[in-house]
Amino acid sequence: MTGTSPSPHLSSVDRAVGAFIGLAVGDALGMPTQSLSPATITSLYGRITAHVGGATQQPYAPGLPAGTVTDDTEQAILVADLLLKGGGHISPEDFARALLNWEEEVIERGSHDLLGPSTKAALEKVRAGADPTTTGTTGTTNGSAMRVTPVGIAYGTADLKAFAEAVHESCRVTHNTQQGFQGAALIAAAVSHGIDGADTRAAIDAALDTVSRLNAPVHWVEGAEVLARTRWAV
């Protein structure tokens, strides 16, 4: 993978805004293809080179207009809002409450299928009266990574303890596992290093190094280690 150098004329604020815009644009671009095989994507859409609407056969976004974002962007905005209201911190109680309120809005829009399996399972436990610090112990899907961009914007990686705590706060309620934490931490660290001016390759390498030195009180769940798989992939 070759590095893509950021413009030296961009401020850290410009890069932070770009990270959020990139999340939303990429989310909307992938909306019509999520959970579909390459063959099905080609059959339904041909080669996708711009935003297109969700086909009626789309299992999670049937008929959504071109350019529509999904839970990836909506939950990232939710995390950003909680960080602002909490002075840089997210309590599990506030996060659980915000997710429940967001879920109600999603259901009212008729898009309940947008909820991922880990988030859906965690919210069912919260509604049943479970402590939100205990509801994410089986969440190993990508929900924590998809929404963590605001943490990478808000936190640098020089203070590893503070960075790890912030990432953990963003995933504890729904993805309090090694896989959930490492996936989120890798994205947040790459965003953070990118905002500091690193190019693509440097941001990825720095993120891998950062996450290898993080500790968080997460649950072990059988499955591949995200950090090791990411090293292999890149």
* Contact criterion met (CB below 8 Å) for 99 and 81: no
How open is the CA angle 96-101-105, to the nearest 5 degrees? 145
Query: With the C-alpha atoms ordered 165, 166, 167, 173, is the resulting torsion angle positive or negative?
Result: positive
* Contact criterion met (CB below 8 Å) for 185 and 211: yes
pLDDT tens-digit map of 123-155: 999 999 999 999 999 999 999 999 999 999 999
Residue 2 has pLDDT above 80, yes or no: no
* pLDDT score, position 9: 82
Q: Which amino acid is at 163?
A: F
* pLDDT score, position 1: 52
**Tokens, residue 96:** 């659980």
Question: Cα torsion for 20, 21, 24, 25, to the nearest 10°?
Answer: -150
List Cβ<8 Å contacts ≥24 apart for 200-208: 200/1, 200/2, 200/3, 200/4, 201/1, 201/2, 201/3, 202/3, 204/1, 204/234, 206/157, 208/234
**What domains can be seen in the chain, in order of their start residue?**
11-68 (no CATH), 70-233 (1.10.4080.10)
pLDDT tens-digit map of 94-125: 999 999 999 999 888 877 667 889 999 999 99
pLDDT tens-digit map of 182-230: 999 999 999 999 999 999 999 999 999 999 999 999 999 999 999 999 9
- Residues of the chain above pLDDT 90, percent: 90
For residue 219, the cross-strand partners are 177
- Average pLDDT of the chain, as a whole number: 95
pTM: 0.93
**Tokens, residue 107:** 């259901």
